[in-house]
Chain A
Amino acid sequence: MSQSLVDDPAEAAPGLERPVEASRGPDPGRRVDVRRLLRFVVRRPGLLLSVVVLVLVVLASFRPGLFASQDPLRGVPSQNFRGPSGSHWFGTDELGRDVFSRVVHGAQLSLKATLIAVLVAFVVGGLLGVVAGFVGRWVDDVLMRFVDVLLAIPALFMSLALVTALGYGTVKVAVAVGIASVAAFARVARAEVLRVRQAVFVEASRASGARWYSVLGRHVLPNAAGPVIVLATLDFGSSILAVSALSFLGYGAPPPAPEWGTLISDGRNYLANAWWLTALPGLAIAATVLATNRIARALDGEWSRQR
């Protein structure tokens, strides 16, 4: 997926002159942009739905009480294994806990882990890429060979090795997933930095004696950020999957924490008598990933092509 991004940056980050524009003061075109954005989104019902889903999931992770009034950790044991119904949308589990409520509260843990993962990948990968691209020479060679090596180890194996070393828990799993996707970020960041560095105005700014950090901070980073952010959106989806896979395998938070992967893994014990325990939490994961991927796709291509 990242490879297509490497090909696309020219279309994805068209605003080479933007810093200059921005220094002129408040952007008069912003209101127009919002309207265009709305029109863009409304014309694509799938995208609109994705945005709605993602907003709901993010809301759920910050204010779970908005969606689920029932306690995710306390159930009524005598009402266990009730199928989905009006009072329990996703049914109840082996201890009579409301599964919908557990999924909603689980969003908090799972999204937190995903955010950490993306952040780790973004910061570490971005840093590697920027340093490699900006410094160049042997530093570039060394860092990029290192990144090649990271790419050679399948991401899940890399995460598992890190989990073995770090131990279990939501945050540790998140870090393990993040580090496993550092390589893609390093690549894209480097490619962008290289591209921007050779742009005329950057060359000019350097020639006029600007300090390297000011060149980096004022010109290179803002212009190189676009594709990296698109990648982060894409990575968000795959990180949700990776995080939930690891918690499915049992490396996440201990019970009764309702991490999405853990919910499904616990539900396996009741596969024969309570399908909703595995099917419905999985639906939540799939919907979230689908939504973020759709949005990433829109950011990646459609939006910029539409200009």
Chain B
Amino acid sequence: MRRYVIKRLAQAVGVLWAAYTVSFLVLDYLPGDPVTAMAGAGMDSGQVDPKQIAALRHEYGFDKPVVVQYAEYLGRAARGDFGDAVSTGRPVTSTLADALPQTLQLTGAALLLAVVLGGGLAVLATYTAQRWLRQLLLSLPPLGVSVPTFWVGLLLVETFSFRLHWFPAFGNDGPKGLVLPALTLAVPTGAQVAQVLAKSLLTALDQAYVETARAKGADRWRVHLRHALRNASLPALTVVGLLVGQLIAGSVVVETVFSRDGLGRVTAAAVTAQDIPLVQGVVVFGALIFVTTNLVIDLVYPLLDPRVVVASDRRAALA
């Protein structure tokens, strides 16, 4: 077990390092001259004179060979320092840290909604004996993954804020302001949860132990929840890592739609301002969230189901 944990940790660090490298290649290396972009986008950009560009170039280390730049940046990034955001002059790390709580609230609420609604839908759809109801319920998840999130958000604003005045249309004010954005963000995620869970529930219901339980005369609902759902939710757990990454990224659109403060809006602003250090920080942060979630799931999984140590090793490589 200890070896497994250490190996997974090493793997996670490796992925993070590589994610940083990819973002470095894309952002710092790909554009011909990030400095000109910065000088244009920065606050102190009144006169874009050659001297200023040279100074910026020096400050950001662009006058050095790429390999040296990379090594320096990586060294700093390993200590959690991604430099200063060009558009605000504030450190990237603290900019992200300040924005994070709002986004965690949003994504947390959305994940909860997604699991409850999506899971509920899957359970109900597989439980019901009514063919039409099952059909109807099972047709919802494909719909959920097909609608653009920003559109759903705008429709909700239009209906529940402007017409009915039930919830605020924008901003971070209190739990009421969280309802519409979280619901919006939960739609595609919930649909995916429903799809995965329904599939594994159906598989589980075919299993021998379910038959056995039924034969023993157990209540149908009880069989469904106690036996089938329990076994079906373990595989569903493995997609949570993927979903959390999606939720964090989805906050870019949802926070823009609802003019909410948070990581997503910081990201959108950073892209618009071509704020390279900030965008890089966001990309690596996204990878960090994904890797951490998967790590936690992989470490918790064997505790829930001791049989799968070996299997989860394989799955870890897949994730």
Contacts and interface: CB of A to CB of B under 8 A. Distances in A.
Contacts of A249: 252-253, 256, 268, 271
A290 B143 contact: yes
Interface in B233-256: 239, 245-246, 248-250, 252-253, 256
Contacts of A265: 150
Contacts of A237: 145-146
Contacts of B317: 148
Interface in A258-283: 261, 264-265, 267-268, 271-272, 275, 278-279, 282
A154 B19 contact: no
A285 B26 contact: no
A161 B253 contact: no
A282 B154 contact: yes
Contacts of A160: 252, 267, 271, 279, 282-283
Interface in B67-94: none
A244 B148 contact: yes
A248 interface: yes
Interface string B277-319: 0011011001100110000000000000000000000000111
Interface in A1-22: 3-4
A20 B172 CA distance: 64
Contacts of B272: 250
Most buried by A among B150, B267, B268: B150
Contacts of B162: 271-272
B148 A282 contact: yes
Contact of A164 (B158, B253, B256, B276): B276
A163 interface: yes
B300 to A, nearest CB: 19
B151 interface: yes
A152 B154 contact: no
B55 interface: no
Contacts of A164: 27, 270-271, 274-276, 279
Contacts of B16: 152
Contact of B18 (A146, A245, A289): A146
Contacts of A250: 272
A63 B72 CA distance: 54
Nearest to B147: A286
A154 B246 contact: yes
A289 B158 contact: no
Contact of A157 (B142, B155, B286): B286
Interface in A283-303: 285-286, 289-290, 293-294, 297
B114 interface: no
B23 to A, nearest CB: 6
Contacts of B158: 271, 275, 278-279
A200 interface: no
A27 B319 CA distance: 42
A177 interface: no
A145 B18 contact: yes
Contacts of B280: 161
Contacts of B287: 149, 152-154
Interface in A214-242: 237, 241
A278 B154 contact: yes
Contacts of B274: 164
Given A164-B27, A248-B150, A156 B143 contact: no
B22 interface: yes
A113 interface: no
Interface residues of A, number: 48
A279 B245 CA distance: 28
Interface string B12-32: 001110110011001100110
A245 B152 CA distance: 12
A151 B316 CA distance: 12
A248 to B, nearest CB: 5
Contacts of A146: 18
A158 interface: yes
A271 B283 contact: no
B183 interface: no
A153 B252 contact: no
Contacts of A264: 148, 150-151, 154
A90 interface: no
Given A148-B15, A149-B22, A268-B154, A245 B148 contact: yes
Contacts of A279: 151, 154-155, 158
A251 B162 CA distance: 28
23 contacts: A148-B317, A149-B19, A149-B22, A152-B287, A152-B291, A154-B286, A155-B249, A157-B286, A160-B267, A164-B279, A166-B30, A241-B148, A245-B253, A249-B268, A250-B272, A268-B154, A271-B162, A272-B162, A278-B155, A282-B155, A285-B151, A286-B146, A290-B142
Given A164-B270, A282-B155, 20 more contacts: A145-B14, A145-B18, A146-B18, A153-B19, A153-B23, A153-B283, A156-B253, A157-B283, A158-B283, A160-B283, A237-B145, A237-B146, A241-B146, A245-B150, A248-B148, A250-B272, A278-B155, A279-B158, A286-B146, A290-B142
Interface of B: 14-16, 18-19, 22-23, 26-27, 30-31, 142-143, 145-151, 154-155, 157-158, 162, 199, 239, 245-246, 248-250, 252-253, 256, 267-268, 270-272, 274-276, 279-280, 282-283, 286-287, 290-291, 317-319
Interface of A: 3-4, 145-146, 148-158, 160-166, 237, 241, 244-245, 248-251, 261, 264-265, 267-268, 271-272, 275, 278-279, 282, 285-286, 289-290, 293-294, 297
